[in-house]
Amino acid sequence: MTPAELSRTVLRSVRGAVEEQELSVPVPARIVVRPSPRPGWGDYASNVALQLAKQAGRPAREVAEILRKRLAGSPGIARVEIAGPGFLNFTLGDEAQIALVREVLAQGSGYGDRSARTKLSARTAEAGSVDDSAAGSRAREVVVAEALARIEAAAGAPARSCAPPVPDPPDLVALLARLGSDEARWVLLRPAAHDPVRVPERPVQRESNPRFRVQYAHARARALVRNAGELGFSGEPGDVGLPVAEGVSGVADEAARRFGSGEPAGTQAAPAGRTLQGLLTLLATYPSAIDAAARLRAPDRVVRHLEATADAFFRWHDDFPPLPVGEQKPLAVHRARLALAEAAGTVLANGLHLLGISAPEYL
């Protein structure tokens, strides 16, 4: 279940409460649902009850309770809780998480893209020279415009009339020659509009470079799919199982090991479970990140969403290894984890495409 789907579910509950005269308020056009601000507060949260309370002439927690009862048991929602002055916290069921992975894989390159996949490819350039201070001027303008055209199309914005192609400005030509296309575009797109562009001396192929880290995460996801194929299995959305404790390679008896060691149940699983939810949340919110980037004309929002997704992928990968270890045979949890890894790779590839940056299969 994506935030947009959850938002529509909450909106239906409000509409039902109004139609059955439990609430006397105008039905809002849309309801905002965001990832929960802290661990232990569910997967998503909404302040809709606080927004409706004044119009309803009732305490916000009372409004929240009306909506909670209506939302309890909705498909994909495992639990609805009221927090603070009237916030609604939602915990999704396993079936909703599985459905999300299945949706990403089914849509593939179309996930997060409501357009007809307008093709705008990055242009090549010839060598030249440029002063770093100039790299943030015309070069940035051109690269941002290209990325925004793709992002706005993906968000479903009406197509704009395209001007005839013009040669790349000299500062972009030189920057592309100096850094390569991928690094140059990342450097120009990563800062927010009000921030300066910082040009490195040369591209660095290590994980301290955010661009490399995102591309490496995609390449790693693709490698997992290839390696699984060599082992004779493929991904299938499902329950990814329990996290693997540090230094332990098994899967099925993980809970028994924790109990047997005298360690309180959940002390290791809880932080690792947050790595799983963190990755799922970033996959689910990718379409809304594209919409926000288009609405605000801010491609840096896509850049930062990809960075967060890559980092979450690596954290999750360490806790939930998708491939069997040693003599272990592939299990259902490995197929489920592989499907989630493939979904993460799909989101990373789609975002890199919108930025005009390559998504390498090997790195």
75-84, long-range: CB within 8 Å, 24+ apart, which pairs? 76/1, 76/5, 76/6, 76/9, 77/1, 77/6, 77/9, 79/42, 81/42, 82/49, 83/41, 83/45
For residue 240, the number of C-alpha atoms closer than 13 Å in the C-beta half-sphere is 28
CA distance 135 to 169: 10
Angle subtended at Cα 283 by Cα 235 and Cα 311, rounded to the nearest 5 degrees = 95
Greatest CA separation for the chain: 70
Split at pLDDT 50, 70, 90, the class of 167 is: low
Closest by CA position to 100, among listed 149, 26, 150, 44: 44
Q: Residue 138 contacts by C-beta under 8 Å, 6 or more apart in sequence?
A: 169, 171, 172
Got the DSSP string for 130-193?
--GGGGGTHHHHHHHHHHHHHHHHHTTPPPPPPPPP-PPPHHHHHHHHHH-HHHHHHHHHSS-T
| Contact in structure between 359 and 352 (CB atoms under 8 Å) | yes
The count of other CB atoms within 10 Å of the CB of residue 348 is: 27
pLDDT for 137: 72
Angle subtended at Cα 264 by Cα 260 and Cα 268, rounded to the nearest 5 degrees = 95
For residue 31, the number of C-alpha atoms closer than 13 Å in the C-beta half-sphere is 28
Q: Is the pLDDT of residue 160 over 90?
A: no
Least confident interval from 65-74, 105-114, 116-125: 116-125
78 three-class SS: strand
* Mean pLDDT of all residues in 326-331: 90
Q: Give 245-294 pLDDT, tens digit per residue.
A: 643 444 444 333 333 333 333 334 446 678 898 999 999 999 999 999 99
Least confident interval from 108-112, 167-171, 275-279, 293-297: 167-171
H/E segment holding residue 89:
strand 87-92
DSSP state of 356: T
| Contact in structure between 31 and 7 (CB atoms under 8 Å) | yes
CA distance 107 to 286: 13
DSSP state of 16: H
Q: Is the pLDDT of residue 341 over 60?
A: yes
Q: Is the pTM of this model over 0.75?
A: yes
Q: Is the pLDDT of residue 70 over 90?
A: yes
- In this structure, the dihedral spanned by the alpha carbons of residues 347, 3, 300 and 150, taken in order and rounded to 10 degrees, is 60
H/E segment holding residue 80:
strand 77-83
CA distance 9 to 80: 12
